């Protein structure tokens, strides 16, 4: 049974700088995660808390970004949430590492596209460390890999910005049940599939993956 309590510390001190890293020890309900992000965004803007990278998993669900079309929801087998992030439909669930990045773009150039590029580069470097070549594709947000000579997405990216504080972030497929994507047209791209580290033959735990992401944090975010 999913426990609703979310074990995540809430910083209350002021005058913060730097970048905080937190990992949720159990699945976080989507609505609760959004509330926590929005509060953190307000706290970052007001100088009450530092930027935050928050790693978690969600119970199975679909989210619809601001560009999502109703026709792309094929089978609402899981709860569906409309969200203010960019992008279209995507799936979240166990075995997928969701990384929410609450970043102050006021000190990072006030450039949303540059922020998205940083997230993309982060995934590309993590995949390289694992031994997989990940790439961007023109006109398609996210990171793509070759899986049995087919282009498939392994990481989705969607962000929202409020008063130059960015939040939401990326999802990275470690070992989710890929059949759960059948209920949607992932990111509106029916001609392409999705994959995971496990499907690519990589046996890695969530903790293994987290460590690689953390090792690349300074190179990407400078802290």
Listed in sequence order, the residues at least 6 apart from 51 whose beta carbon sits closer than 8 Å to its beta carbon are 18, 19, 20, 44, 101, 102, 103, 104, 223
Q: Where in the chain are the domains?
A: 19-221
Q: How far apart are CA 144 and CA 218, in angstroms?
A: 23
* pTM, 2 dp: 0.90
The predicted pLDDT at position 127 comes to 98
- Which residues are catalytic, by number? 187
Closest-CA residue to 17 (of 85, 107, 84): 107
Is it the case that residue 3 has pLDDT exceeding 50? no
- For residue 17, the model assigns a pLDDT of 59
Q: How far apart are the first and last CA of the chain?
A: 37
Which strand (E) or helix (H) includes residue 153? Answer: strand 150-162
User: What confidence tens digit (pLDDT) does each residue in 119-162 have?
Assistant: 999 999 999 999 999 999 988 888 999 987 889 999 999 999 99
Number of Cβ within a 10 Å radius of residue 11: 14
Mean pLDDT across the stretch 171-198? 92
Domain 19-221 belongs to what architecture? 2-Layer Sandwich (3.30)
pLDDT score at 55: 98
Mean pLDDT of 20-37: 97
- Residue 176's pLDDT is 98
Cα separation, 223 vs 140, in Å, equals 28
Q: What is the tens place of the pLDDT at every residue in 45-101?
A: 999 999 999 999 999 999 999 999 999 999 999 999 999 898 899 999 999 999 999
């Amino acid at each position: 049974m999913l426990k609703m309590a979310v074990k995540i510390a809430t910083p209350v001190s002021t005058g913060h700088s730097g970048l905080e890293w937190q990992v949720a020890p159990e699945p976080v309900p989507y609505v609760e995660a959004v509330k926590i992000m929005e509060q953190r965004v307000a706290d970052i803007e007001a100088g009450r808390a530092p930027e935050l990278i928050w790693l978690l998993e969600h119970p199975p669900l679909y989210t619809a970004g601001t560009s999502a079309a109703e026709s792309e929801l094929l089978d609402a087998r899981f709860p569906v949430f409309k969200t203010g992030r960019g992008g279209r439909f995507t799936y979240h669930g166990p075995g997928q590492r969701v990384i929410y990045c609450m970043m102050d773009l006021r000190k990072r150039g006030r450039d949303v596209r540059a922020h998205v590029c940083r997230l993309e580069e982060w995934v590309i470097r993590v995949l390289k460390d694992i031994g997989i070549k990940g790439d961007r594709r023109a006109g398609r947000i996210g990171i793509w890999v070759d899986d049995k000579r087919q282009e498939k997405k392994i990481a989705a990216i969607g962000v929202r910005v409020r008063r130059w504080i960015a939040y939401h972030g990326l999802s990275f497929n470690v070992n989710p049940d890929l059949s759960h994507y059948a209920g949607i047209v992932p990111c509106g791209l029916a001609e392409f599939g999705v994959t995971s580290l496990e499907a690519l033959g990589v046996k890695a735990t969530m903790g293994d993956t987290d460590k690689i992401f953390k090792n690349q944090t300074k190179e990407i975010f400078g802290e």
